[in-house]
Amino acid sequence: MPGKRHDIRLTNLAVGYGGTPVVSDVNVTLPGGKITVILGGSGCGKSTLIKHILRLHDPLSGAIHIGPHNIMELTRRQWACLKLRLGLLFQDGALLGSLTLGDNVALPLREHTRLKPREAYELAVSKLALVGLEKFAHLYPNQLSGGMRKRAGLARAMVMDPAVLFCDEPTSGLDPINSAELDQLLLELKERFDITVVVVSHDLASMRTIADHVVVLGEGRVLFDGSRDELEATRDDYLRRFLDRLAQERTAPRLSTSRLDPSLLKMDCSELWEQVQE
């Protein structure tokens, strides 16, 4: 089983669904003990890539090495053991709705360890304390805000002391303060537990705060693989537009559609609409 600080090596990897590749020709190494941010526009296959790395789906071709192990060649039992050292924070937390936060975080401990239920719960609460949610252990996921659900998801991903932590868009949908707090939390977790972190994001501010290494996806392939400083210094046209948040140039005017005619409404709102317009 891999210890901590093991690289994740993707070789000639093609991932996709139903035989259709979403990202192909992936040849990158995500360095161990560092934070790698996989960057790219919406729908470019970032989440697809990490779900394939975690074998939620089988890759179309290629190899995935975590440390010395090609995970495609592991037996079911070996993969089950290795999986316990991998944590994933889902985009919206993916907490089980029928369990409280404490029980959600305690679930892997109850299933995989010989801890008594009480001990597992106490350990889960201590993990919730890492993300500042220990006082909310008795609440259900639907009683929490989006940011709290993400932090609880992070506590659950960390509960088995993973060697590699994957985070799927941890800051999406959060306000700037909560995003910054989550970034700090990831940096602290990496330092404190000496783990490898892989973050999928399109949040440039977050990338600039946490990334040691950056992989940029786009057009169905890897567009960039290198350090954050190298990325900032790039002269590649697409990457510069992405980093400088410049809109794609359009040949046709965007605002060419006509305005909605109030007379088309089923209700007669014309008088009210005119008053609001004034």
Q: For another protein, which stretch binds (CB under 8 A), given 49-57, 144-152, 199-207, 236-244?
A: 49-57
Q: Does 51 bind another protein (CB under 8 A)?
A: yes
Output the smallest distance, CB 187 to another protein, in A. Answer: 23
Q: Does 69 bind another protein (CB under 8 A)?
A: no
Output the smallest distance, CB 114 to another protein, in A. Answer: 11
What tokens appear for 127 in the block?
Answer: 């993990």
**CA quadruple 123, 129, 134, 137: dihedral positive or negative?**
negative
Helix (H, G, I), strand (E, B) or coil at 119: helix
Q: For another protein, which stretch binds (CB under 8 A), given 65-73, 88-96, 180-188, 203-211?
A: 88-96
Burial of 97 (0-12, 13-18, 19+ CB in 10 A): exposed
Using CB under 8 A, which of 156, 190, 202, 213 touches another protein? 156
**Dist. CA 16–CA 37, nearest whole Å:** 20
Residue in this structure with the two tokens 């949040």, named with its chain if needed:
203
Q: Does 111 bind another protein (CB under 8 A)?
A: yes
Q: Which helix (H) or strand (E) holds 215?
A: strand 213-218
Q: Does 149 bind another protein (CB under 8 A)?
A: no
Cβ proximity to another protein, 77 vs 192, nearer residue:
77
Q: Does 83 bind another protein (CB under 8 A)?
A: yes
DSSP 68-87: TEEGGGS-HHHHHHHHTTEE
Residues that bind another protein (CB under 8 A): 51, 54, 56, 80, 83-84, 86-88, 90-92, 94-98, 107-108, 110-112, 156, 160
